[in-house]
Each structure stands twice: as structure tokens, then as C-alpha cells.
Amino acid sequence: MTLHSSSDKPVYIRLREVIADAILAGRFRDGDPLPSVRALAAEQGANPLTVAKAYQGFQDEGLVLVKRGIGMFVASGACARLRDSERNQFITTEWPAIRDRMKRLGIEPADLVEGEKA
């Protein structure tokens, strides 16, 4: 997991993306413990309060469970819900801009598939 510092996004949003990517990639599965706030803060070079804010967002969405005195764990079904949410975000927000840029540049979908084969 790596926090990219060149983004214009707030740090807690970038931390959220790092954690979500780790869950989606299978590095953390349903029921797995997540790094402690302090451990993740040290790993990412972030303020522990900022990490806590990122984790709180996941907790509010029911993607992370807190077991007092033990730690935070990936909730059951978190990966599937994150994938659905990220997919919806891509289709409704990111894809239209990509599609429009492809159109302006004269790029056809087949050009992208051919590029993968090269």
C-alpha cells in the first residue's frame, strides 16, 4: 500500500483509496485485521488522526468492523460492496470523460484492445 503525495485530493481520501485498493486486490479479505491507526500512519507517513478519519468513513459505511481492544477488521461482503461502488463511480463519473476524450482523439474501442496485444 502506498500513498501518492502528488494528488490534489485530501490525504484522508488518498488513504481511503489505498485501503480500498488493498481490499479490492485481496490483500485484506473479509474478516482480516487491518493495520492499526498508528501502524498505517507510520507506514504511509500520515497523521494518525487523518488515518482515523479514513477508517471512520469505512466504519460508517459498514465496510470495517471495530472490535474494542482487538482492532479493526474487514467486514463480511466489503470487497463486493467496494467493487460495486467503485464500478458505479467509474461508469457514472470517470467513463463519460474518457469516452469524450477518445472521441476527440479519434480512438476507437478496438484500438485499445489492439494496443493490449502489442
Q: pTM of the prediction?
A: 0.78
User: Are the CB atoms for 59 and 66 separated by under 8 Å?
Assistant: yes
User: Are the CB atoms for 63 and 82 separated by under 8 Å?
Assistant: yes
Residue 35's SS3 state is coil
Per-residue pLDDT at 2: 53
Distance between CA atoms of 44 and 66, rounded to whole angstroms?
Answer: 21
Distance between CA atoms of 94 and 56, rounded to whole angstroms?
Answer: 25
Question: Using one digit for the tens of pLDDT, what is the confidence trace for 56-71?
Answer: 999 999 999 999 999 9
**Predicted confidence band at 1 (pLDDT cuts at 50, 70, 90)?**
low
Q: Where are the domains of the chain?
A: 11-76, 79-117
Which CATH architecture fits 11-76? Orthogonal Bundle (1.10)
Question: Using one digit for the tens of pLDDT, what is the confidence trace for 12-45?
Answer: 899 999 999 999 999 999 999 999 999 999 999 9
From the number of C-beta atoms within 10 Å of its C-beta (0-12, 13-18, 19+), residue 54 rates as buried
